[in-house]
Structure 1
Amino acid sequence: MTDEELDEPIGEAEGAVVAGNGALSNIINRNALLSGALTPSLLGANALKPSALSAAALAAIQDPGPQGALSRQLLQYVVSCALRPDQSFSFTWTDSGGTSRQETYSGYLGIVDWWVYGPLTDPFYQRYISACLAARTNYYGVPVMISLRASQVSMGSSWNERSTYSVREGAFWGNLFTSTPYLRACHSPAGVARARALKRDCAAGHIKPDPATGAPITEPCGPIALAGSCDTVCEAVVADGGFYSQCLDNPAISSSARTDVVITSFLPP
């Protein structure tokens, strides 16, 4: 993704949201998840409103350089995942040319709309925001309409949404708010071909040639570790919505420890 794409006006990225259901666009840069400037843990330490930001968080989103662009994009998607459509986050920053920029990021899913009143310290909701961010990450920076589903009321799905977004892509989980942040994803085998056709590589991994041998290798999207097939690491899907109810939290370490804070993504056929 180029700097110009990172500086894309907020209205263009969020304009693809489908009103009235849980389907929304994804375009968050994989490098924004742990940019080194603004991180979810830095945001989570305070209420999600401009007046409550720490000096470090404010400096990160007002930075006119590339790291500032990543920080603003991360904040945009945190707000979209966390707050309701009638809530927003507004601030100003000055670009490298000295022009003052006004930003207003609107909420959408409303997973933790109460975050505006105090810090996000509950690991349950930290994991939901983390999973939402992971599911909306795109290796190529290409906007694709997706449907996110989980047991949260705000991520329920209508019959129309399920019929429009019928290809199960995979599942995402983790926690970006801990001292050792992590994200994981698994893929639904039946949805891999469609996901790759739509430039969605973060559930199954990005295929590229090995620089040394030229053989194809699978690369994760930034910090999103690949857990393999969801058929292997997750419980059977929930009939009402088609999402995975639980997945192994870390398949590489334990074959029994599971998390029920999982978001499943769906694509159009």
Structure 2
Amino acid sequence: MTKSPRLALIIATAVSLVPLGCAVLPEDMAEETLGADQQAAIMGNGLTFNGLTFNGLTFNGLAMAELSDPLGRQLLSAIVSCALPEGEAIDLNIEGVDYSFEGSVGLAPEWGKDGGECGENCKSWVSACVISRVNYLGQSVRISVRGKDKALASTSEEREEYTEREGAYFGDIFATPQELYACVAPGASQIPRVCGPSIQGCSPIEVLGDCDDVCSKELNDGASDKCRDPSGKMQKGAVTVFLAS
């Protein structure tokens, strides 16, 4: 497992999780060593298992908070998991306690490189990935996450097992205020995993309607590609969730 003190500092600064003085990096940390048409991943609590993911991020976990707060660490864990590939991590010492935040999906590996930044493409994909992990009850549920990025490559077995298209997620978790959007699968009216009993009470995520109306097209694996936010901007990073049938 590699360590990236630089990325830890960048993330803490970029998302305003905590004042710079509160995240203490060990002095003896080594120099940074971090190194599609049918695409998907299965994720879980920040860990990816053969493309399948468990989701369990609560609405409160999306809020920006200090890293001394468990909710701040929950969000940071989700961000790192979505951004960095498996086998890479950032280690932080927060108020005397050591934490390791592990990569998993690898949607923005460039962020962990020396001098790496999280540009528009990085923000779009990482945001979509993090938003897709929200669970109304905070429960861990296996989901198949798909989108037009090579990090989300799926297998035929996964597509055969996870056939229930739920909806797509996109936005910008780094913006102030955060921009959190979803659309429902054609023919569906609710997304209970994320919104609970009604999409009317899904705040802070805004449900924009049918994905066929919001997104540009459907990919071969059923994922929605490039979805439009309320301002009219097309978000390149759009993550579609499928549930097991």
TM range (shorter): 0.7 to 0.9
Q: 1:26 aligns with which of 55, 65, 69?
A: 55
1:140 aligns with 2:137: yes
**1:119-268 aligned within 5 A:** 120-190=117-187, 196=192, 200=193, 202=194, 205-207=195-197, 218-220=200-202, 222-239=203-220, 241-250=221-230, 254=232, 257-268=233-244
Per-residue CA deviation, residues 62-113 of structure 1 (Å, 9 max, x unaligned), is x2xxxx100110111111101111101222345xxxxx64322221101111
Where structure 1 has 5 or more consecutive residues not aligned to the other structure, the ranges are 1-12, 38-59, 95-99, 209-216
TM-score (norm 2): 0.73
**Aligned AA (1:218):** Q
Q: What amino acid is aligned across from residue 49 of structure 2 in structure 1?
A: A
- Do 2:46 and 2:102's aligned partners in 1 also have CA atoms closer than 8 Å? no
Contact 2:92–2:99 (CA<8 Å) still a contact in 1?
yes
- 1:72 partner amino acid: R
State the match for 2:104 in structure 1. 108
Distance 2:131 2:124 in 1: 10
Determine which structure has more spread, i.e. the larger CA radius of gyration: 1
Gaps of 5+ in 2: 1-42
The TM-score normalised by the length of structure 1 is 0.67
1:16 Cα shift?
8.6
State the number of aligned residues. 202
Quote the offset at 1:20 in angstroms: 2.3
SS in 1 for 2:60: helix
Query: Superposition RMSD on alpha carbons, in Å?
Result: 2.4
Q: Distance in 2 between matches of 1:268 and 1:191?
A: 16
User: Following the alignment from structure 1 to structure 2, what is the Cα–Cα distance between the partners of residues 89 and 81?
Assistant: 13
- Deviation by residue 1:30-65 (Cα, 9 ceiling, x = unmatched): 112123x2xxxxxxxxxxxxxxxxxxxxxx22x2xx
CA deviation string 1:213-258 (max 9, x = no partner): xxxx7211x421111121322233111x2111122221xx54xx53
CA positional deviation for 1:260? 2.9
SS of residue in 1 equivalent to 2:81: helix
Structure 1's 112 and 263: CA in aligned 2 closer, same or farther, altered over 3 A? same
Q: Partner letter of residue 130 of structure 1?
A: S
User: Which of the two has greater helix per residue?
Assistant: 1
CA distance in 2, matches of 1:259, 1:33: 19
Query: Which amino acid is the alignment partner of residue 147 of structure 1?
Result: S
What residue is the counterpart of 1:52 in the other structure? none
Q: Distance in 2 between matches of 1:168 and 1:120?
A: 33
